[in-house]
Amino acid sequence: MGKFNFKLRQNRHQVDETVTAEGAPGFAREPRAELFLLGVSNMVGEDTFYEDAAGRDARFRELIAAVAVTDPDWFARFVSWLRTGAMLRSAAVVAALEGARAQVAAGVPGSRAIVDAALQRADEPGEALAYWLGRYGRALPKPVKRGIADAVARLYHERSLLKYDSESCAVRFGDVIDLTHPAAEDERQGDLFRHALDRRHKRDNPPPASLTTLAARAELMGMPVEQRRAVIDPAVLGAAGMTWEALAGWRQAAMDAAAWEAIIPSMGYLALLRNLRNFDQAGVRDAVAESVAQKLADPGEVARSRVLPMRFLSAYNAAPSLRWAYALEKALQHALVNVPALDGRTLILIDTSGSMTSSFSKDGTLRCWDAATVFGLALAARAQDATVVSFSNASRVFPAVVGESVLAAVRRFKDGGYFYGGGTETEKAVRGHYDRHDRVVILTDEQAHWHGSEDVAAAVPAQVPVYTWNLAGYRVGHTPVVGNRHTFGGLSDAAFAMVPLIEAGSHDQWPF
């Protein structure tokens, strides 16, 4: 679902910049580091525990404008990685557009390619235009216009038109074509552009003969309602570019097992992942379910889907049948390919304080502490010798079970009462559990309580690396990023690969 094709939200309050949100001394970050942490954790337009959406988004825009001009090469790499490495859509779109605006004003070249790189799905050119029009009006700088046009040529085809060109969107495919004037890659795409304009302006012209998928869809739409439930041939539905959402509306009846089995071959990876419960409730046959499970567990499909690791946890929690469990665990492991196998002894501290209940998205199915637990337990599963601790006001070691899957361990973590929901006493947890470990990893939002120390990692010898994994991207950190103190962040596993690089002596600070 788009975030920018509707009215912008209003500001409520700002966050204190001088200390952490819980009163401990804070440590400022240099602009690129602050932008990196905010970018990889920012679900644009959504509140977090300590920072409202408007204030957070304003801080994001200010950082983008500064960094895009002062370090344009770094910024270009960052935006491309944000979309394809960190797998974040909205943050990448905002970063590209706000960066382009700042670069155009400063006379810095290169923003056309940045805008193009940020748009990787066919609804995103419209999202980008909706964002720009909502904030800055119809005057489009040439790099923005041309970057969006480049993406349109890559992304617009018959199936994307059927899926994403909805009347509920303020900016339709035809609007994007009108405003950016993309060059069609071939005659068929030119026909598609003209048809999109006809749709938008309600011109009663038939689709060109070259657009066979649209013709097949039109034939289905002309079928009497009472005959539609009998159409269960996957080839017929596939030829018409029918999605499961479109099929449910077209049938004007509940999706039964036959309907699901007919559309499953045409469903994308994320659509399958989100509908496991529906498959079970409709009674989809085991043979069909096995084909779905095989696709979910396929490493190539996982990589192409760019699904965030926590989505597998959400699917695991939602699906009532155990027939999906092994496939989801394998998929999660493929999605966590960058989590390293660490030697020696590793202390992993998972922040389960109240502020870590902040949602990643409006549906509330996944929260910061879900991500922290998935990452922490995945890291522990691959480490040679790991001590996993849940901490808030209190702290407790989470005992390992040999051979346990990550998803099963996450469920045991939750069912065992390891989510505390109190304050963030990070220093106390570090002091209580550090015992000659070779490294410390803290998964947190960094909003520590004040207990008299200058640094939550003060209990750890200077020569021992302390890695903070920030899940929220607030401005103020709980430890200075100097020496063996490092801060990463994000909702994917992408930056985990930095840990062995740092310990091998690499000076590259970024995962791109």
**Using alpha carbons only, what angle is made at residue 262 by residues 256 and 267, rounded to the nearest 5 degrees?**
105
Which pLDDT score, from 0 to 100, does residue 453 have? 53
Lookup: tokens for 294: 């095989």
Which pLDDT score, from 0 to 100, does residue 50 have? 35
> Using 50, 70 and 90 to split pLDDT, how confident is the model at 433?
very high
Give the chain's mean pLDDT. Answer: 86
Lookup: tokens for 286: 């085991």
Q: What are phi and psi of 345, to 5 degrees?
A: -110, 130
Asked if 483 and 29 touch (Cβ cutoff 8 Å), the reply is no
> Each residue of 187-205: b (16+ CB within 10 Å) or e?
eebebbbbbbbbbbeeeee
Q: Domains of the chain: which residue ranges?
A: 31-201, 223-267, 268-323, 335-504
List the end-to-end C-alpha distance of the chain, in Å, as a whole number.
28
Q: For 41-61, how does the pLDDT look when each residue is reduced to its tens digit (9 = 90+)? A: 654 444 443 345 677 788 899
Measuring CA to CA, how many Å separate 166 from each of 4, 161, 272, 336?
14, 8, 22, 34
Asked if 145 and 172 touch (Cβ cutoff 8 Å), the reply is no
User: Which tops the pLDDT comparison, 311 or 23?
Assistant: 311
User: Which tops the pLDDT comparison, 449 or 40?
Assistant: 40
Q: How far apart are alpha carbons 495 and 499 in whole angstroms? A: 8
Query: What is 335-504's CATH topology?
Result: Rossmann fold (3.40.50)
pTM more than 0.85:
no
Q: How far apart are alpha carbons 24 and 480 in whole angstroms? A: 13
Once rounded to an integer, what is the mean pLDDT over residues 348-369?
Answer: 76
How would DSSP label each residue in 56-100?
A: HHHHHHHHHHHHHHH-HHHHHHHHHHHHHTS--SHHHHHHHHHHH
> Using 50, 70 and 90 to split pLDDT, how confident is the model at 4?
very low
Q: How far apart are alpha carbons 90 and 99 in whole angstroms? A: 14
> Using 50, 70 and 90 to split pLDDT, how confident is the model at 17?
very low
Which pLDDT score, from 0 to 100, does residue 508 have? 64
What percent of the chain shows pLDDT beyond 90?
61
Which pLDDT score, from 0 to 100, does residue 27 have? 53
Residue closest to 361 by CA, chosen among 139, 69, 89, 109: 89
